[in-house]
Amino acid sequence: MILEKVITHMNIQSEYKEFVAKYIDQVRNEFKDKVHSMYMCGSIPKGTAKPFQSDADFTLLCANPEDIDYAKLSSIKERLLEEYPFLTKIDTIICSIDDVFSKPNEWGFWIKIVCVCVEGEDMGEKAPPILISPAFILDLNTETPEEVDRLHRLLGEADDPALQTRYIKGYSKRLLRALYSLILEDTGIWEDDIRKMKNAIINHSGIDPDLVDYLYTCYLDSDVRIVEFLEKAEEIYRYFENVLQTMAAKFYPNPDKPNSNM
């Protein structure tokens, strides 16, 4: 089964159009041809964004990501957040053109399936089709252990309430995405609506539904005890890890076969 694109066409609401245009202009003016093309994902390009609730998610595709000065990029985001306070935050991912093609089940998936091009040549159209399979699911989760460990550590060390809120929301979303990836062969689509993602996980996986509901609640409202959240997150991640390892064992039955995903 071929995985279809999440956003087939842009439907940016009128109140967000000026912001998106300014972000594109300021990034292009600052970095010129160091940025090959720009992409968005999430509620803004889908036309479902809500003022003071939704954030903006951009991806910059570059020949050499190291050419992008993160301090200058942060300055652009800070200025725009001041000008458009109805945005909760602006996230920007930077990846290389090479990664889109050398890692088709990771960055190719991100550019081709999850994102929609808002400026420049759309490299997602040139990326190969994504076939839903155990190999794809394993590749998609190559960096999940590292990301989960990073979020776990950051949340455990955070003292600032604003940071705690941000990390709990991000951690919850990351775990929900990881759990959803395990059931892709059942759903046949990549779902980026968190509520629908949560419901699909409950319907198609063997994890305790209460744990999934807990994650979803924490994503919506991060006013929870840190210790309790970390304990639940560890339990959820153990389930994910066990299912992924079982999948890998079936897909790579020969223990001597190289497996970069484990």
Tens place of pLDDT per residue across the chain (262 aa): 899 999 988 999 999 999 999 999 999 999 999 999 999 999 999 999 999 989 999 999 999 999 999 999 999 999 999 999 999 999 999 999 999 999 999 999 999 999 999 999 999 999 999 999 999 999 999 999 999 999 999 999 999 998 898 899 999 999 999 999 999 999 999 998 999 999 999 999 999 999 999 999 999 987 789 999 999 999 999 999 999 999 999 887 665 544 444 3
Q: How far is CA 81 from CA 84, 90, 158, 222, in A?
A: 5, 8, 23, 22
**Domain 14-130, CATH homologous superfamily name and number:** Beta Polymerase, domain 2 (3.30.460.10)
Q: Is 154 helix (H, G, I), strand (E, B) or coil?
A: helix
Domain ranges (residues) in the chain: 14-130, 137-251
3-state secondary structure of 254: coil
What is the pTM for the complete model shown? 0.85
